[in-house]
């Protein structure tokens, strides 16, 4: 087996001449370009990519991703969201809502990019660059260098209506880079919903700054087009008493790598990252999370549950770093897989690195099959074996889904899971 | 109603024979008790009857209302009216007690070609039955058996039995782990279900449960067989003299 080297004929080109040289972001882009050149694109030989082969994320050729018949765009309609629609990474104004909402500023990167000055300059690439200290994340740096579209959001109040970014996929070979910047001011709050397959190949980065007392609720459902390949990064910083909650549901997709890198810099802040995924067949899903506690009395939770069958693969790499000053840290990390057959596999690398002495951190990682005793108990009451397995599967996923606070939105996710189980039950 | 004929059972993964020719008929309207020392095969009998994996029936038949049930799945046996109250009820985190009960009732109704129970009828029924067993709303809302005390778990078994209205109820050491008050509560729940159309098989080590659930017929099981059958006085004999006299007598 051989792996492509950076700038080899098979790889994405990293060209300085392709960089935007004008506007407020030019400097950050040049900087990111240099980072990418220095680290090179990821290869399967990198320790950090040990469990997930990045080849199809870095190759010059985008593999075809046929469009699924399911129309998933409207799944959050019941929450009356402000819709922003991208089709293969291109903004679709006719499908999007009016973005003129009090307390909220939503702009598009492609438009503000041309300006010489913009508040986003302070954030663009900032957390991505910071994240490179622990380990190179070249796909994110590449995104900083070349992204030309995405939403740039500033929230100055508590916004009731969620923003829903819908990613439609129309071109079977689309190769898309998206970059979102989100700044939530003191005591402001935003709920962001994302759903849809987006593209045949998607490289997406979201940078989020939560000021003191800010709250960010994030729920996303990665689209179902099975052949899609997706690499996402969430980078964030939490101020004092800020609350960050992010939940991701993944059903199908041959390759998904979701990275999350958060710095808790404010006292008494809380960050919860959770995910549920169900994978069938040639499904590969990787959650890679790195949370740094750098303040007193902060809390973090990582809750990831994966149901895998017919040879599906699940990966979890999760780390909690507690800096010396981060006393009274409460850290929790759990990653579990339910393997419905012997062909499926779960690879986990949980890590704790603690330099403070007054902390409570726990972590656990398990792989298991359906509990035969529980299955017998349910069937002995007249419940069919398939329904009993579905009930136990939902029960397994519950801890992750329970991380969603909003009851209506939680129900949307539960309904999606139930539908998936119904469809796949024989 | 339940006819067990010459039942021989070994464990799947070892050659050991556990049941060595059990003959037993449970009649409608009757309470049969099975007593016997540890390791006599009582619990195995309850598991084999309800269809648990891991047992190999090497000989014999079991009929429930004329159906040969040994080839049937646990859920099919349940729908025919068989119910096992577990000695150790299983905790199922993430599955709500109410959801579990309603799914079970509707699954059984569906398999019998009946309509599903309406949400309001279900709620009314479950509240009524739960009240008589002193099961509070909080217990109903919690995940199945999770965080329940031993007594609460057993009461929850009886609640399921009351809701599912089975034809044949097998109670596997329902008295184990219960104090006297809890045992009375459970026994009252069972007695409320005694009915001309329903048969009971009560498995127990001790006579004390049978003070509260009065049996019509008592069987003594030893070494994989029924070795003696008699009236309620047989249970008292066990209580007074232990099993050894009876077993010597039988052998």
Residue of chain B with shortest Cα separation from A380: B74
Q: Give pLDDT tens digits for A54-89.
A: 999 999 999 999 998 777 778 999 999 999 999 999
In a domain? residue A206: yes
pLDDT recorded at residue B94: 87
Is A377 near chain B, with CB under 8 Å?
Answer: yes
pLDDT recorded at residue A1: 34
Please name which of A219, A326, A185 lies closest in space to residue A269, comparing C-alpha atoms.
Answer: A326
- A390 and A61 in contact (C-beta within 8 Å)? no
- DSSP H or E stretch at residue A48: none
Q: Do B104 and A372 touch (CB under 8 A)?
A: no
B207 pLDDT band (50/70/90 cuts)?
confident
In a domain? residue A384: no
Distances (CA, A) of B121 to A230, B136, B142: 48, 18, 20
In a domain? residue B240: no
- Give the one of A379, A394, A399 whose C-beta lies nearest to B75's C-beta: A379
Please provide residue A393's backbone torsions phi and psi, each rounded to the nearest 5 degrees.
-65, -45
pLDDT recorded at residue A10: 81
- Give the one of A373, A382, A391 whose C-beta lies nearest to B95's C-beta: A391
pLDDT recorded at residue A425: 60
Interface probe for A, chosen from B49, B94, B96, B165 (most Cβ of A below 10 Å), is B94
Distance (Å) from the C-alpha of residue B199 to the closest C-alpha of chain A?
A: 17
- Check: complex ipTM more than 0.85: yes
Distance (Å) from the C-alpha of residue B87 to the closest C-alpha of chain A?
A: 12
Mean pLDDT for chain A? 93
Q: Do B93 and A387 touch (CB under 8 A)?
A: no
Please provide residue B68's backbone torsions phi and psi, each rounded to the nearest 5 degrees.
-75, 110
pLDDT recorded at residue A178: 98
Note the maximum CA span of chain A.
Answer: 70
Distances (CA, A) of B250 to B206, B223, B243: 20, 12, 11
Burial code of A22-59, b = ≥16 C-beta within 10 A, e = fewer? ebbbeebbebbbebbbebbbbbeebebbebbbbbbbbb
What's the half-sphere exposure (Cβ side, CA atoms, 13 Å) at B204? 28
DSSP letter string, chain B: -EEEEEEEEEESSS--EEEEEEEEEEPTT-EEEEE--TTSSHHHHHHHHHT-TTEEEEEEEEEETTEE-TTS-HHHHHHTTEEEE-SSPPPEEEEEHHHHHHHHHHHHHHHTTPPPPPHHHHHHHHHHHHHHTT--HHHHHSEETTT--HHHHHHHHHHHHHHH--SEEEEESTTTT--HHHHHHHHHHHHHH--TT-EEEEEES-SHHHHHS--SEEEEEETTEEEEEE-THHHHHHHHHHHHHHHHHH-
Q: Do A395 and B143 touch (CB under 8 A)?
A: yes
Distance (Å) from the C-alpha of residue A119 to the closest C-alpha of chain B?
A: 45
**How many whole angstroms separate alpha carbon A285 and alpha carbon A277?**
8
Check residue A376 and give left, alpha or beta (phi > 0: left; psi -120 to 50: alpha). Answer: alpha
The structure tokens listed for A145 are 């260098």
- Asked whether the predicted pLDDT for residue A20 surpasses 90, the reply is no
**How many whole angstroms separate alpha carbon B104 and alpha carbon B84?**
14
In a domain? residue B239: no
pLDDT recorded at residue A426: 46
- A198 and A89 in contact (C-beta within 8 Å)? yes
Quick check: helix, strand or coil at residue A291? strand
The answer for residues whose C-beta is within 8 angstroms of residue B86's C-beta and 6 or more apart is: A377, B157, B172
In a domain? residue B187: yes
In a domain? residue A87: yes
In a domain? residue B250: no
Interface probe for B, chosen from A374, A381, A417, A425 (most Cβ of B below 10 Å), is A381
- Asked whether the predicted pLDDT for residue A421 surpasses 90, the reply is no
pLDDT recorded at residue A8: 66
Q: Which residues pair with A205 in a beta bridge?
A: A179, A233
Is A392 near chain B, with CB under 8 Å?
Answer: yes
- B186 and B100 in contact (C-beta within 8 Å)? no
pLDDT recorded at residue A424: 66
- Give the one of A374, A382, A391 whose C-beta lies nearest to B79's C-beta: A382
**Range with the poorest average pLDDT among A16-20, A122-126, A377-381:** A16-20
**How many whole angstroms separate alpha carbon A271 and alpha carbon A291?**
8
Residue of chain A with shortest Cα separation from B96: A395
In a domain? residue B51: yes
Mean pLDDT for chain B? 92
- B73 and A379 in contact (C-beta within 8 Å)? yes
Using a CB-CB cut-off of 8 Å, the residues of chain B touching A422 are: none
Residue of chain A with shortest Cα separation from B109: A382
For residue A225, give its domain range: 16-370
- Asked whether the predicted pLDDT for residue A5 surpasses 90, the reply is no
Task: Give residue ranges of B with CB < 8 Å to any A CB.
Answer: 50-53, 73-75, 77-79, 83-84, 86, 89-90, 92-95, 99-100, 103-105, 107-108, 111, 143-144, 160, 164
In a domain? residue A60: yes
Interface probe for B, chosen from A303, A378, A380 (most Cβ of B below 10 Å), is A380
Q: Do B95 and A395 touch (CB under 8 A)?
A: yes
In a domain? residue A166: yes
Instruction: Tell me the mean pLDDT in the region B178-195.
Output: 90
For residue B51, give its domain range: 2-228
- Give the one of B51, B75, B144 whose C-beta lies nearest to A384's C-beta: B75
**How many whole angstroms separate alpha carbon A232 and alpha carbon A139?**
9
**How many whole angstroms separate alpha carbon A417 and alpha carbon A397?**
9
**Residues B144/B149/B153/B155 CA torsion (nearest 10 deg):** -120
Distances (CA, A) of B104 to A117, A304, A379, B83: 64, 29, 8, 12
Using a CB-CB cut-off of 8 Å, the residues of chain B touching A276 are: none
In a domain? residue B233: no
Q: Number of structural domains, chain B?
A: 1
Domain of B10, CATH number, reads: 3.40.50.300
- Asked whether the predicted pLDDT for residue B192 surpasses 70, the reply is yes
Distance (Å) from the C-alpha of residue A131 to the closest C-alpha of chain B?
A: 36
Instruction: Tell me the mean pLDDT in the region B43-54.
Output: 95
Q: Give pLDDT tens digits for B63-119.
A: 999 999 999 999 999 999 999 999 999 999 889 999 999 999 999 999 999 999 999
Instruction: Name the one residue in this structure whose structure tokens are 């400097």.
Output: A27
Q: Do B100 and A378 touch (CB under 8 A)?
A: yes
- B162 and B190 in contact (C-beta within 8 Å)? no
Instruction: Tell me the mean pLDDT in the region A256-265.
Output: 98
Quick check: helix, strand or coil at residue B45? helix
Q: Number of structural domains, chain A?
A: 1
B112 or A263: which carries more pLDDT confidence? A263
In a domain? residue B115: yes
The answer for residues whose C-beta is within 8 angstroms of residue A95's C-beta and 6 or more apart is: A83, A85, A87, A166, A168
Check residue B102 and give left, alpha or beta (phi > 0: left; psi -120 to 50: alpha). Answer: alpha
pLDDT recorded at residue B250: 63
- A210 and A181 in contact (C-beta within 8 Å)? no
CA B12 from chain centre, in angstroms, equals 23
Instruction: Tell me the mean pLDDT in the region A391-405.
Output: 94
**How many whole angstroms separate alpha carbon A229 and alpha carbon A201?**
5
């Amino acid at each position: 087996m051989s792996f492509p080297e950076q700038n080899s004929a098979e790889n994405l080109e990293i060209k300085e001449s392709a960089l935007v040289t004008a506007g407020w972001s030019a400097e950050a882009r040049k900087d990111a370009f240099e980072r990418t050149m220095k680290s090179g694109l990821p290869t399967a030989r990198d320790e950090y990519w040990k469990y997930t082969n990045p080849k199809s994320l870095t190759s010059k050729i985008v593999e075809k991703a046929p469009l699924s018949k399911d129309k998933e765009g409207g799944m959050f309609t019941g929450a009356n969201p402000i819709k922003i629609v991208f089709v293969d990474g291109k903004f679709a104004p006719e499908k999007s809502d009016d973005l003129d909402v009090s307390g909220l500023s939503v702009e598009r990167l492609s438009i503000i990019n041309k300006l010489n000055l913009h508040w986003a300059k302070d954030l663009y690439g900032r957390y991505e660059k910071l994240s490179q200290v622990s380990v190179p994340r070249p796909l994110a740096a590449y995104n900083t260098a070349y992204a030309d579209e995405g939403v740039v959001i500033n929230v100055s109040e508590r916004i009731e209506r969620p923003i829903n970014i819908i990613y439609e996929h129309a071109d079977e070979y689309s190769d898309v880079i998206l970059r979102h910047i989100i700044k939530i001011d003191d005591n402001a709050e935003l709920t962001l919903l994302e759903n849809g397959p987006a593209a045949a190949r998607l490289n997406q980065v979201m940078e989020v700054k939560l000021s003191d007392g800010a709250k960010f609720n994030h729920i996303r459902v990665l689209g179902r087009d099975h052949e899609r390949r997706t690499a996402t990064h969430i980078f964030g910083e939490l101020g004092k008493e800020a609350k960050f909650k992010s939940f991701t549901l993944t059903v199908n997709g041959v390759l998904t790598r979701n990275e999350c890198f958060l710095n808790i810099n404010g006292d008494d802040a809380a960050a919860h990252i959770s995910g549920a995924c169900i994978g069938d067949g040639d499904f590969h899903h990787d959650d890679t999370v790195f949370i740094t506690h750098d303040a007193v009395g902060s809390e973090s939770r990582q809750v990831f549950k994966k149901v895998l069958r017919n040879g599906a693969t699940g990966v979890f790499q999760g780390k909690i770093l507690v800096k010396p000053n981060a006393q009274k840290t409460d850290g929790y990390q759990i990653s579990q897989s339910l393997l419905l057959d012997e062909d499926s596999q779960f690879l986990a690398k949980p890590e704790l690195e603690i330099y403070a002495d007054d902390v409570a951190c726990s972590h656990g990682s398990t792989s298991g099959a359906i509990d035969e005793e529980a299955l017998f108990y349910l069937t002995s009451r007249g419940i069919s074996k398939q329904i009993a397995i579905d009930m136990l599967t939902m029960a397994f996923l519950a801890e992750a889904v329970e991380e969603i606070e909003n009851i209506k939105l939680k129900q949307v996710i539960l309904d999606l899971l139930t539908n998936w189980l119904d469809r796949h039950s024989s | 109603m339940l006819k067990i004929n010459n039942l021989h059972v070994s464990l799947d993964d070892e050659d050991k024979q556990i049941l060595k020719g059990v003959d037993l008929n449970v009649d409608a309207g009757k309470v049969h008790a099975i007593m016997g020392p540890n390791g006599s095969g009582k619990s195995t009998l309850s598991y084999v009857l309800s269809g648990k994996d891991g047992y190999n029936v090497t000989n014999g038949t079991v009929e429930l209302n004329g159906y040969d049930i040994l080839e049937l799945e646990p859920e099919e046996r349940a729908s025919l009216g068989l119910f096992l109250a577990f000695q150790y009820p299983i905790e199922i985190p993430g599955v709500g007690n109410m959801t579990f009960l309603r799914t079970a009732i509707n699954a059984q109704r569906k398999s019998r070609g009946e309509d599903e129970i309406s949400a309001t009828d279900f709620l009314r029924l479950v509240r009524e039955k739960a009240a008589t067993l002193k099961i509070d709303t909080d217990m109903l809302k919690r995940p199945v058996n999770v965080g329940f005390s031993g007594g609460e778990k057993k009461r929850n078994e009886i609640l399921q039995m009351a809701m599912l209205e089975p034809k044949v109820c097998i109670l596997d050491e329902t008295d184990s782990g219960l104090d006297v008050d809890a045992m009375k509560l459970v026994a009252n729940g069972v007695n409320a279900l005694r009915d001309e159309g329903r048969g009971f098989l009560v498995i127990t080590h001790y006579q004390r449960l049978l003070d509260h659930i009065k049996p019509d017929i008592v069987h003594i099981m030893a070494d994989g067989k029924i070795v003696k059958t008699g009236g309620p006085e047989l249970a008292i004999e066990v209580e007074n003299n232990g099993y050894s006299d009876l077993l010597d007598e039988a052998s």
